[in-house]
């Protein structure tokens, strides 16, 4: 429980990195900020490795023994990038962090489109292993939408890094981008509920098969009697 709370605090602190950078640049060099972020990211990686309950995403839908953790990759790449920033002591490099993270996320999601199952399908199967076949095209489309989001968000982040003031950069990358992400989550949830109702997708296919088998058995029993 304590580990979960501590990890949650670390997640919040790392998500607030634009605010930390904005405030930090007022009083210290980029290297100092990078070192602080490096400690936070390092702790998150250590906790993630040590945790036995870290989310594991199946590499395929059938081979559950062969598992990967692709969503850990942005944190690892981000940590390496921050370490490079600390070595360079470069302000502009520090501002490129959101661009790097969006690029990594785009690569991960796009790779699953080329080599199914898609990322959203993998995530969905964590809570619903027997995902109905009707849901597969939908999860692929949502993965495509997230790829477009990372392209747009990363492009805006790049623009703010190169041409905007630190105030504008902090506002977009520390607030507006998170609001946009939250809106996308909310809209997708609403659409998902609509799609489920429209296609009558309420139960896993295995449950439906079990129910059908029970009905068949009852029918056979009744006929015998």
State the pLDDT at residue 107.
Answer: 96
pLDDT of residue 59: 46
Of 64 and 45, the structure prediction assigns the larger pLDDT to: 45
Assign 57 a pLDDT band (cuts: 50, 70, 90).
low
For 61-100, what is each residue's pLDDT tens digit?
A: 444 433 446 768 888 899 999 999 999 999 999 999 999 9
Q: What is the dihedral of CA 88, 45, 117, 103, to 10 degrees?
A: -20
For the entire predicted model, the pTM comes to 0.79
Sorted by where each begins, the domain ranges of the chain are 2-205
How would residue 17 be classed by pLDDT, with cut points 50, 70 and 90? confident
Judge whether 93 and 99 are in contact, CB under 8 Å.
no
Site of tokens 């309950």: 53
DSSP 69-119: -GGGHHHHHHHHHHHHHHHHT-HHHHHTHHHHHHHHHHHHHHHHHHSSSPH
């Amino acid at each position: 429980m304590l580990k979960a709370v501590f990890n949650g605090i670390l997640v919040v602190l790392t998500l607030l990195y634009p605010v930390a950078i904005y405030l930090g640049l007022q009083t210290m060099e980029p290297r100092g900020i990078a070192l602080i972020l490096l400690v936070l990211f390092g702790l998150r990686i250590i906790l993630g490795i040590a945790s036995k309950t870290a989310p594991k995403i199946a590499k395929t839908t059938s081979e559950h023994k062969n598992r990967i953790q692709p969503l850990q990759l942005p944190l690892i790449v981000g940590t390496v990038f921050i370490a490079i920033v600390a070595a360079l002591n470069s302000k502009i490099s520090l501002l490129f962090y959101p661009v790097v993270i969006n690029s990594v996320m785009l690569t991960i999601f796009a790779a699953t489109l080329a080599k199914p199952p898609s990322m959203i399908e993998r995530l969905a199967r964590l809570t619903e292993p027997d995902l109905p076949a009707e849901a597969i095209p939908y999860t692929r489309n949502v993965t495509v939408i997230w790829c477009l989001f990372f392209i747009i968000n990363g492009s805006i982040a790049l623009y703010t890094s190169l041409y905007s003031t630190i105030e504008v950069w902090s506002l977009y990358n520390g607030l507006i981008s998170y609001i946009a992400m939250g809106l996308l989550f909310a809209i997708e949830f609403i659409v998902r509920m609509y799609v489920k109702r429209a296609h009558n997708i309420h139960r896993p296919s295995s449950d439906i098969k079990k129910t059908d088998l029970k009905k068949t058995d009852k029918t056979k029993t009744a006929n015998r009697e």
